[in-house]
A = this chain, B = another copy of it.
Amino acid sequence: MSKPILILGGGPAGLAAAHSLATVGQPSVIVEKEDRLGGAPILSGYAKLVPTGEWAKDAIGGMVDRVVDDSMVSVRTGTTVSRFDGEPGNFTAGLSNGDTVDAGAAILCSGFTHFDSVNKPEWGFGTFQDVVTTTQVEQMISSGQGVRCPSDGRKPQRVAILLCVGSRDRQIGREWCSKICCTVSANMAMEIREELPDCHVYIYYMDIRTFGLYETNYYWRSQEEFKVKYIKARIAEVTSDGEKLIVKGEDTLVKRPITIPFDMVVHAIGMDPNVDNKDIAATFGIDLEQHGYIDAANRYGAMGETSRPGVYVAGAATGPETIDDSIAQGHAAAMAVLSGLKAQLEKSA
């Protein structure tokens, strides 16, 4: 086949794209800025993934191994792309290490950046040790340590998970919904209850967005089988009485103030656009959408096209995305690349 396909980012979408291409004998080069592959699920130490329940290190780790073992895929970690010139079928990428790579096309699988909870100071992160993020709880679970209060290592008896931290929040410039935090939080609540059966877990929400079959498998299951409690609330602040964390807000269904003590408060942090997106857009000559994600044309006939012919995009680089949809989009973008190259070949023949 033609020149290798450049894949920017070795997370779920990029790993799927590389595997698809390799399957049909098309070489690719994954350029990953971090020092190893796997993206957020591996680098941030996620525990069991939604919706399959596989451990991240097995599920995504297996995708990493498959790609690393494949002679069709070349991997450059700790590397970025500094220029990308040419046209479809005939691009040249300049890498940060001085190397040059010829490429028939590029697929941007550059993912997202976790919201930093210090940008929501009134909800206690950075002020109180026992206010943590979903990512930290994932790490507590995946490391085998278990869910413990960072301040003193005790098992929490009452945990609050606050949804939409860094999502659906115009005050801090993040209007979008991060799509999967509701379901991930329901899953996490069940994992906490499984490890600590005496612990009460509350989820504070605006709208519960456990879409599709997640409604049964996460929302209802967490309530009925695991006794997780859901409160529709507007949260004012997280403070402390010296002993417990205090979550203050208004229950928006019964229209009255609620003040509840907890041992641990978890921020269900959202997905920001990748902090590098402006650089990526400049290097690859592509457009970003209004929030700073990579703009996907999303024509149904050609998934993952960007504003520049020959440059495609997949996964959370396009906006908040689930892992399984990112993987499906990675495969789809690989096919769009091959379809585009084939059409070009037929045209020039």
Contact = CB atoms under 8 A, between A and B. Distances in A.
A258 to B, nearest CB: 15
Pick the most buried of A12, A66, A299: most chain B CB atoms within 10 A of its CB: A299
B319 A298 contact: no
Contacts of A319: 212-213
A300 B59 contact: yes
A122 interface: no
Interface in A294-309: 297-301, 303
Contacts of A303: 324, 327-328, 331
Contact of A212 (B208, B252, B320, B328): B320
A154 interface: no
B253 A213 contact: no
Given A298-B52, A299-B54, A325-B325, A215 B332 contact: no
A154 to B, nearest CB: 34
A40 interface: no
A277 to B, nearest CB: 14
Contacts of A210: 177
Interface stretch (A19-27, A74-82, A128-136, A190-198): A19-27
A266 to B, nearest CB: 20
A63 B300 contact: yes
Contacts of A105: none
26 contacts: A19-B335, A23-B335, A23-B342, A24-B24, A54-B300, A59-B300, A60-B300, A175-B216, A177-B212, A177-B213, A177-B214, A179-B212, A207-B207, A209-B211, A212-B320, A213-B291, A216-B291, A253-B255, A255-B255, A303-B324, A303-B328, A325-B328, A328-B331, A331-B332, A331-B334, A332-B332
Closest 7 CB pairs of A and B: A331-B332, A207-B207, A328-B328, A177-B215, A179-B212, A328-B332, A213-B319
